[in-house]
Structure 1
Amino acid sequence: MEWFANLLRHYPELAIFLTLAFGFWIGKFKIKKFTLGTVTSVLLVGVLIGQLHIEIGAPLKSVFFLLFLFAVGYSVGPQFFRGLRKEGLPQVLFAVVMCLFCLIAPFVLAKIMGYSAGEAAGLLAGSQTISAVLGVAEDTINQLGIPDADKTSMINVMPVAYAVSYIFGTAGSAWIMSDVAPRLLGGIESVKKACRELEAKMGTDDESEQPGFMPAARPITFRAYKISNDWFGAGKTVKELEDYLEEQGRRLFVERVRIDHVIRDAKPDQMLLEGNEIVLSGRREFVIGEENWIGDEVNDIDLLDFPAETLPVLVSRKKFAGMTVAKLRKQPVMHGVSIKSIKRAGVSIPVLPATRIDPGDMLELVGTKLEVNAAADMLGYADRPTNQTDMIFVGLGIFLGGVVGSLAIHFGGVPISLSTSGGALIAGLFFGWLRSKHPTFGRIPEPSLWVLNNVGLNMFIAVVGITAGPSFVTGLKEVGISLFFIGALATAIPLLVGVLLGKYVFKFHPAITLGCTSGARTTTAALGAVEDAVESQTPALGYTVTYAVGNTLLIIWGVVIVLLMT
């Protein structure tokens, strides 16, 4: 055992990776619906390993934290700036007001309980499940004109307060948003009904006669049929068949035909007769319907053997900004192309005819290679799978953000700044927005973004846990079990206020209220619980703009709460 302890003390980098391994492993375990989550598990494992008194250099922690913050800003940048437009302002204002309550509630409770700035910052981070507050608050504490011993004490107690309050911050948020919030909005059945009505409204607007609700998870499919219906009579063109199917509420395309034993690509004026075989493509809910009136389905390998492509496309053309899915589908370039899914700020939103397309949205298109590529060129930029990250973009962004964040304004002799971490977040916002406007550079593939987000944050948390390990038990005794209940209050108050604000002040639709409240608190777990409870994806429509604003303000509150408490 002594050999093992000396090994980790001599090679602290091994202690970090051991912490990550066990933290991610423990984070997978669930007791019913409750889970500690990866971040909390990594922190607690780090605390345990930290009992071996392992010293880790400070720059290592900062490097990973800056990568994480830049990735956060990069992910939400397009939605953050989009929200500043007229149509997004109500949700932006809602998010700002709710984020103020997310700051005020922990601050007031911390004052009542006589907590230090470190305890207050940990309470804010845990109760609002915004782990990045730990890093931003630590940077701010280090700028204070107080003795180093006091700084160390505050910094060491932060992860303790965070760990204690994070448990209810996560599980409690999901419970409040999926159970209590619907009751405040009229009851779960009432909210379900309202969601179905919203789906129907968005699915039968004046521009489209598509069915009401199309879960984004459903895939696109291709199926072959042999024509035998008398409807074709002396012959119908491909266009006539497609128009007829759309009149019946099914957007399907004829991709290929077999005529006189010859297979060819379908053309609009191609005549179809009894005995011909055709391939239909479209979303599964359209293809698996009553189209077998055409004739028997056939398993014709040769007919179905043609290249089809699924291609993520980043929307960047101004022409399509604000266009509904229904209107987009009617564009000539979208013939033969189906929308499999839409992601906004990394969150899947429902593919409804009335869903509006925003710049920076990622549309997953499916169709023949030629048709999909033509649509991609028209919409913006084909985000083809790659393993290359534009590190010039990332490195320069973090550097410039850090320089801006390091600039300080002095009040009463106290230097106040966003710190390099706050600067990296702001740079990420700007660079993410810039990427959505000019997608030919600044690419960070989704797997790389996941690494920057998750590994960056958890590397930082691992170092925090290992460093705070020796004083963690002492700190836990200081904060006491009462902190858990204080954390529960700090979690519940902003969420309940958000729901009431959405209902009575902003008068949002119940689904949008639930989505906006979850987004402003940046609690994706709560959004998932809400969607399960109301059996609808419509709450996601209110999540993305408020999530972008919340992610920015809640992290900056790490600076503010330290200054308020000192």
Structure 2
Amino acid sequence: MVDWLVNILQNYPELAVFLSIGIGFLVGPWKVMGFSLGTVTATLLAAVVIGQAQIDIDSAVKSTFFIMFIFAVGYGVGPQFIRGLKADGAREVLFALSVLALCLVIPIIAAKVAGLELGYAAGLYAGSQTISAAIGVATDQIGQLGLSAEQAKTYANQIPIAYAVTYIYGTIGSAIILAKIGPRLIGVDLVAACKEYEAKLGGTTSVETGDGIVSAYRAIEARAFEIPEGSDLLGQPVKNLMPGIRIYAERLRRDGKIIEVDDNTVLQVGDIVMFSGRRADLVGLLETNLTEADAPDLLSIPSEKLDVLITSKEVHNKTLEELSKLSIARGIYVSKLMRNMQDLPLLPGTVVHRGDIVTIQGSKRHVEAAIAQIGYADRPVDTTDLAFVGWGIFIGGIIGTLSVIMGGFPISLSTTGGALLAGLVLGWLRTVHPTFGRIPGPALWLMNTLGLNVFIAVIGITAGPGFVAGLQQAGIALLLWGIVATSLPMIFAVYVGHYVFKFHPAILFGACAGARTTTAALGMIQEAAQSRIPALGYGMPYAIGNTLLTIFGMVVVLILS
């Protein structure tokens, strides 16, 4: 049975790749004491085991899927990255650059002191900083050093060994340092700090729930009430009714006719009016003074709930509270706000940026009117603009092939670096001109996840035959120096962020996790904080970190070669 399976995998190597992915995604999510290997590391280890069968895979497969992955990475973080280059949020950018400098320098020093060979050093960097993309970039750069084919292959095969040894602590260690040790280093109570920051943003400490949403933006419903003689709601435009409270008159029935209400509509005695708003407000402010009416025809109003890509300059950098006072917010309720695939807390002081995805709901006419002014409806579709993807990767790759000679070595972005650059630019352009270049969220996730894991599987299968010998040769040193290379940048980052950049503790640890692009750490920080507030510091550093940590894979090779 074993011989039959080995023969199948040797003759059909594509099946070995998908077997590795299948095992990796099955085993990766399993948790032991709250931690898991993760799908990437599990796929790599599964591929290493399968690779003992001496399976040959064309290197073009690895390159093709990696370049797809790296383009998707750039496309996803492009809006935030370009915003950082424009000096919007300069403090966050400078902090990220400071942390990233530590993330580059400390692994290089560790590799030098340990006397690691080039491939092990590159893998130590990638694993300790949990940046899988650096594997591909480092491998590409090793191929451009003018080494013999045998030496280049030896170095390339060393990378996944060191990555596998150092990645697990890179993930677990970062999470523990930032969520558990970090607050103690600077003497703060993270839970209290987040409650304080939430209050500063206009939230209340009692309504932050498990899903991280403040009640002021929840529990929306519509009800109909009859306006009696002598009501305080008579004689003035509806825009002036109940100032500061988000209750809206949507439509009314008058003399048997249904009328759509706008800001200047004046209510009359006997009107049956449909109001929308928080249930608590409708009950507390209207139900006690008005008589509820049975009006199914009035309440049968087309409604929508849509994700909207924020592209408007007028909306950018405004808080949710500021937006709620604009005319475009009439009858509109926010249920979710996402940045770099992370949910942000919905607080009055939460700032909205171009490139964010906001989920809005309300009557169809109000939703459509709001979309026209704030951005582009991210309606569920099944199609991806593959012409955009294909040309973007091709042109970016062509740019990446251009090189200059420095110190006797040809230096270039490589095709993968060019694809990353193309993804950054095109992802940003998508927020400026959203009529082209659509990649739906699920499609982007597939490009990102499948691209990376096919690449990792091929790496593991190829390196498999020499993996055990390499691990025996450098395993202990890699593990210990990996701990150093992971821990020191994160510890220094906490002190630098607190004492130099003066970040509020509530967002400091999210910013540290963002710079290191460790989502697992952010999740643990939020759990320890009992709040989503730390996510507010994650976005900009994540965009900068995801880009530079990848490019640093090339820098490590150039410095240590």
Indicate whether the TM-score tops 0.5. yes
Alignment match, 1:529: 524
Counterpart Cα distance in 2 of 1:279 and 1:525: 45
Compute the displacement of 1:84 (Å).
Answer: 2.4
- Inter-CA distance 267–559: structure 2 relative to 1 (3 Å threshold): closer
Compute the displacement of 1:417 (Å).
Answer: 1.4
**Amino acid aligned to 2:44:** L
> Which of 146-155 and 215-224 deviates more?
215-224
Q: Which runs of 5+ in 2 are unaligned?
A: none
Alignment match, 1:386: 381
Counterpart Cα distance in 2 of 1:238 and 1:43: 71
Counterpart Cα distance in 1 of 2:380 and 2:543: 25
Compute the displacement of 1:485 (Å).
Answer: 2.4
Structure 1 residue 22 corresponds to structure 2 residue 17: no
Counterparts of residues 455-494 of structure 1 (less than 5 Å):
455-494=450-489
Compute the displacement of 1:37 (Å).
Answer: 0.5
SS in 2 for 1:440: coil
Alignment partner of 1:343 out of 335, 338, 341? 338
Counterparts of residues 407-556 of structure 1 (less than 5 Å):
407-556=402-551
* 1:223-275 residue CA offsets vs partner (Å, 9 max, x unmatched): 426569x8x7346249777755454xx4222334567887664455353668x
Alignment match, 1:90: 91
What is the Cα-based RMSD across aligned positions, in Å? Answer: 2.7
Counterpart Cα distance in 2 of 1:353 and 1:328: 9
Alignment match, 2:358: 363
Alignment match, 1:233: 230
Structure 1 residue 403 corresponds to structure 2 residue 410: no
- Inter-CA distance 330–11: structure 2 relative to 1 (3 Å threshold): same
Counterparts of residues 30-45 of structure 1 (less than 5 Å):
30-45=31-46
Counterparts of residues 129-278 of structure 1 (less than 5 Å):
129-188=130-189, 191-203=190-202, 215-216=212-213, 219=218, 221-224=220-223, 226=225, 233-234=230-231, 236-237=233-234, 245-247=242-244, 250-257=245-252, 265-268=260-263, 269=265, 271=267
The 8 Å contact of residues 220 and 366 in structure 1, kept in 2 or not, is answered as no
Compute the displacement of 1:529 (Å).
Answer: 1.2
**Amino acid aligned to 1:141:** I
Counterpart Cα distance in 1 of 2:235 and 2:559: 69
> Which of 313-322 and 163-172 deviates more?
313-322
**Amino acid aligned to 1:224:** R
Compute the displacement of 1:219 (Å).
Answer: 5.0
- Inter-CA distance 340–499: structure 2 relative to 1 (3 Å threshold): same
Counterpart Cα distance in 1 of 2:139 and 2:348: 47
Alignment match, 1:323: 318
- Inter-CA distance 243–514: structure 2 relative to 1 (3 Å threshold): farther
Compute the displacement of 1:551 (Å).
Answer: 0.6
Counterpart Cα distance in 1 of 2:531 and 2:260: 38
Compute the displacement of 1:527 (Å).
Answer: 1.1
Counterpart Cα distance in 1 of 2:185 and 2:280: 34
Counterpart Cα distance in 2 of 1:239 and 1:53: 82
SS in 2 for 1:388: coil
How many residues matched?
Answer: 555
**Amino acid aligned to 2:490:** L
Counterpart Cα distance in 2 of 1:138 and 1:304: 62
The 8 Å contact of residues 397 and 416 in structure 2, kept in 1 or not, is answered as yes
The 8 Å contact of residues 235 and 272 in structure 1, kept in 2 or not, is answered as no
**Amino acid aligned to 1:478:** Q
Identity %: 46
- Inter-CA distance 152–348: structure 2 relative to 1 (3 Å threshold): same
* 1:484-509 residue CA offsets vs partner (Å, 9 max, x unmatched): 22212211111111110011111111
The 8 Å contact of residues 325 and 353 in structure 1, kept in 2 or not, is answered as yes
> Which of 67-76 and 342-351 deviates more?
342-351
The 8 Å contact of residues 225 and 274 in structure 2, kept in 1 or not, is answered as no
* 1:43-72 residue CA offsets vs partner (Å, 9 max, x unmatched): 111111111111110111111101111111
Counterpart Cα distance in 1 of 2:75 and 2:235: 44
> Which of 23-32 and 119-128 deviates more?
23-32
The 8 Å contact of residues 47 and 469 in structure 1, kept in 2 or not, is answered as yes
Counterpart Cα distance in 2 of 1:287 and 1:559: 59
| TM-score normalised by L of structure 2 | 0.92
- Inter-CA distance 162–294: structure 2 relative to 1 (3 Å threshold): farther
Compute the displacement of 1:181 (Å).
Answer: 1.0
- Inter-CA distance 485–336: structure 2 relative to 1 (3 Å threshold): same
Counterpart Cα distance in 2 of 1:321 and 1:480: 49
The 8 Å contact of residues 520 and 550 in structure 1, kept in 2 or not, is answered as yes
The 8 Å contact of residues 236 and 267 in structure 2, kept in 1 or not, is answered as no
Counterpart Cα distance in 2 of 1:53 and 1:219: 57
Structure 1 residue 106 corresponds to structure 2 residue 103: no
Counterpart Cα distance in 2 of 1:235 and 1:283: 20
- Inter-CA distance 421–239: structure 2 relative to 1 (3 Å threshold): farther
Counterpart Cα distance in 2 of 1:465 and 1:550: 25
**Amino acid aligned to 1:201:** K
Counterpart Cα distance in 1 of 2:472 and 2:545: 32
The 8 Å contact of residues 224 and 299 in structure 2, kept in 1 or not, is answered as no
| TM-score normalised by L of structure 1 | 0.91
Counterparts of residues 112-127 of structure 1 (less than 5 Å):
112-127=113-128
Compute the displacement of 1:82 (Å).
Answer: 0.8
Compute the displacement of 1:298 (Å).
Answer: 8.2
* 1:510-555 residue CA offsets vs partner (Å, 9 max, x unmatched): 1221121111000111111111211222222211111011011100
Compute the displacement of 1:183 (Å).
Answer: 1.1
SS in 1 for 2:352: coil
- Inter-CA distance 59–261: structure 2 relative to 1 (3 Å threshold): same
- Inter-CA distance 437–138: structure 2 relative to 1 (3 Å threshold): same
**Amino acid aligned to 1:35:** S
- Inter-CA distance 280–465: structure 2 relative to 1 (3 Å threshold): farther
**Amino acid aligned to 1:192:** V
**Amino acid aligned to 2:384:** T
- Inter-CA distance 195–287: structure 2 relative to 1 (3 Å threshold): farther
Counterpart Cα distance in 2 of 1:321 and 1:516: 20
- Inter-CA distance 256–393: structure 2 relative to 1 (3 Å threshold): same
- Inter-CA distance 156–239: structure 2 relative to 1 (3 Å threshold): farther
Counterpart Cα distance in 2 of 1:285 and 1:172: 44
SS in 1 for 2:119: helix
* 1:2-23 residue CA offsets vs partner (Å, 9 max, x unmatched): 2221111111111111111111
Counterpart Cα distance in 2 of 1:220 and 1:75: 31
